[in-house]
Amino acid sequence: MSEIPGTTSAGDASVDRGSRTKLRLNASMIIGAILILLIVALALVSFVWTPYGPSAVDPAARLQPSSPEHPFGTDKFGRDTLTWIMYGARITLMVGIVAVGIAVLIGTPIGIIAAVFAQYPWGVWLSAVIMRANDILLAFPALLLAIVFAAVYQPGTGPAMVAVGIAAIPGFARVARSGTMQVLGSEYVRAAKASNRTAPAIAIVHVLPNIAGMVIVQASVAFAISVLAEAGLSFLGLGTQAPVPSWGRMLQESQQFLSTQPLLALWPGLFIALAVLGFNLLGDGLRDRFDPKMEARGNG
């Protein structure tokens, strides 16, 4: 297992010494950022304004197509779909932020520690054990882990976020480890060692800034995966529970009206896809930026 499908891992990227130089923009990055900003804007605006209340039902206006009153139409209770999409953006972003947060905060130190341990004769086996454990965790796909969590605890947004976060840890550990290995092999780290800097000091001063770019790329990719996992779980009824609006559940509930009102499926589906596309594109763009190898290849 080397890479997560749907993504390209930043694991093999070489360390870019110039990662703190001015950020150059490329098309993937710009389109990705715009899509993400759109979703963030929807979520933020939903806190102050939505066209209707999330639970405002209108039995007279059930399963409506798009209209000036309801730009995205209405669902089986006559609730406004645009309102629900806006509320759903919150859950999507929250799950992504918490899950990726868990994975970054746990995975990155694990990778750095594994790489640092491998430097010492006494730590080689320990490093190997850490990475083997990591590989085992990698055999648990996010969705499967989340289903297990839903079985053990009550299905809900909380267990879903934690499970998706845990499943994303190995990706960060790998990226951090390979990045740290390269930094530790460099001239300036040898110089720092020669001047008796301690290992933690070296890790903070030299390693963190240099692997930050790759970790950010991985975070973008992991965010896309978590959006998919949350949507999938909620689609199965094992994620966000009613009455909290979630895109995955909207899509699931739309299924019974596919022949009468296909728009109901279209909107949540479109926004899930846009969110995933946005984070994938941003990740791609950042990778082109942080990984010099990729630049020669165009937008590979």
Partner 1 sequence: MITYVASRAIQFVLALIVASVVVFALMSILPGNAAQVALGTNATPDAVAALEAQYGLDQPPIIRYVNWVVGMLGGDFGTSYVTGAAITPVIVGSVQVTAILVIAAIVLAIVIAVPLGTFAALEQRNWIGVTISALSQIGIAVPNFLAAIILVIIFSLTLGWFPSQGWMAPVEGFGGFLLRLVLPVVSLALVQAAILTRYVRSAVLDVMREDYIRTARAKGLTRTKALFVHGLRNAAIPVITVAGVQLATLLVGAVIIEQIFVIPGIGSELVRAVANRDLVTVQGIVMVLVLLVLIINLIVDVLYPIVDPRIRNAS
What residues between 213 and 252 interact with partner 1 by CB under 8 A?
224, 228, 231-232, 235-238, 251
Q: Is 38 in the site for partner 1 (CB under 8 A)?
A: no
Interatomic CA distance for residues 197 and 206, integer angstroms: 11
* Secondary structure string (H, E, C) spanning the chain: CCCCCCCCCCCCCCCCCCCCCCCCCCHHHHHHHHHHHHHHHHHHHHHHCCCCCCCCCCHHHCCCCCCCCCCCCECCCCCEHHHHHHHHHHHHHHHHHHHHHHHHHHHHHHHHHHHHHCCCHHHHHHHHHHHHHHHHHHCCCHHHHHHHHHHHCCCCHHHHHHHHHHHHHHHHHHHHHHHHHHHHCCHHHHHHHHCCCCHHHHHHHHHHHHHHHHHHHHHHHHHHHHHHHHHHHHHCCCCCCCCCCCHHHHHHHHHHHCCCCCHHHHHHHHHHHHHHHHHHHHHHHHHHHHCHHHHCCCCC
Q: Is 164 in the site for partner 1 (CB under 8 A)?
A: no
Q: Is 161 in the site for partner 1 (CB under 8 A)?
A: no
CB atoms within 10 A of CB 92: 26
Residue nearer to partner 1 on the CB measure, 112 or 143:
143
In whole angstroms, the minimum distance from the beta carbon of 9 to partner 1 comes to 11
In whole angstroms, the minimum distance from the beta carbon of 165 to partner 1 comes to 15
Residue nearer to partner 1 on the CB measure, 105 or 128:
128
Q: Is 12 in the site for partner 1 (CB under 8 A)?
A: no
The structure tokens 């960060």 sit at: 172
Which of 25, 45, 136, 204 is in the footprint of partner 1 by CB under 8 A? 136
Q: Is 199 in the site for partner 1 (CB under 8 A)?
A: no
Which of 132, 200, 204, 242 is in the footprint of partner 1 by CB under 8 A? 132
Which of 38, 94, 126, 273 is in the footprint of partner 1 by CB under 8 A? 273
Q: Is 162 in the site for partner 1 (CB under 8 A)?
A: no
Q: Is 102 in the site for partner 1 (CB under 8 A)?
A: no
Interacting span for partner 1 (CB under 8 A) from 15-23, 59-67, 80-88, 144-152 = 144-152
Interatomic CA distance for residues 282 and 276, integer angstroms: 10
In whole angstroms, the minimum distance from the beta carbon of 27 to partner 1 comes to 10
What residues between 249 and 268 interact with partner 1 by CB under 8 A?
251, 254-255, 258-259, 262, 265
Q: Is 141 in the site for partner 1 (CB under 8 A)?
A: yes
Binding site for partner 1 (CB under 8 A): 1-6, 8, 132-133, 135-136, 139-141, 143-144, 147-148, 150-152, 155, 224, 228, 231-232, 235-238, 251, 254-255, 258-259, 262, 265, 269, 272-274, 276-277, 280-281, 284, 297-300
